[in-house]
């Protein structure tokens, strides 16, 4: 009896952000991916970035695949909302070229070994 009451107190019903189930969240992710995919030629042209459309599409796939293991529907919905905001900022050219190029920054950077490299990177 006491454990049942503790479970009722400890568990809380949470409201969904956008999607009610995984299928609906998956369709939202796919529609966001397609929207980004369709905008890539315009992004490359408008921002005049030194990357090809194929490179941008590969980077788009890589960024979406980083979150492939997320299973919580609320987290997926928040990621979709953030992706929609990024897309809107990019399409309306509210970003600058440097903001777009940060997506292509290498994720693994080699640690500097000599004094000047450490100094310029701010490590020591």
In a domain, 100, yes or no: yes
Q: Is residue 48 part of a domain?
A: yes
CB 74 within 8 A of CB 18: no
- Would you say residue 67 lies in a domain? yes
- pLDDT tens track for 11-62: 667 777 888 899 999 999 999 999 999 999 999 999 999 999 999 999 999 9
Domain coverage including residue 43: 16-106
**For the chain, how many structural domains are there in total?**
1
pTM of the model: 0.75
Domain contains 65: yes
Distances (CA, A) of 113 to 100, 105, 106, 107, 109: 29, 20, 18, 18, 12
Report the percentage of the chain scoring pLDDT > 90: 67
Among 29, 27, 34, 16, CA closest to 80? 29
Q: For residue 44, tell me if it sits in a domain.
A: yes
User: Is 114 inside a domain boundary?
Assistant: no
């Amino acid at each position: 009896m006491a454990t049942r009451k503790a479970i009722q107190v400890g568990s809380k019903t949470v409201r969904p952000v956008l999607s009610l189930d995984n299928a609906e969240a998956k369709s939202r992710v796919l529609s966001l991916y397609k929207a980004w995919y369709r905008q890539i030629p315009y992004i490359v042209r408008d921002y005049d970035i030194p990357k090809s459309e194929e490179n941008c599409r590969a980077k788009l796939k890589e960024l979406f695949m980083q979150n492939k293991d997320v299973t919580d529907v609320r987290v997926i919905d928040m990621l979709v909302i953030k992706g929609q905001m990024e897309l809107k900022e990019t399409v309306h050219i509210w970003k600058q070229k440097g903001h777009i190029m940060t997506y292509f920054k290498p994720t693994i950077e080699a640690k500097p070994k000599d004094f000047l490299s450490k100094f310029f990177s701010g490590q020591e």
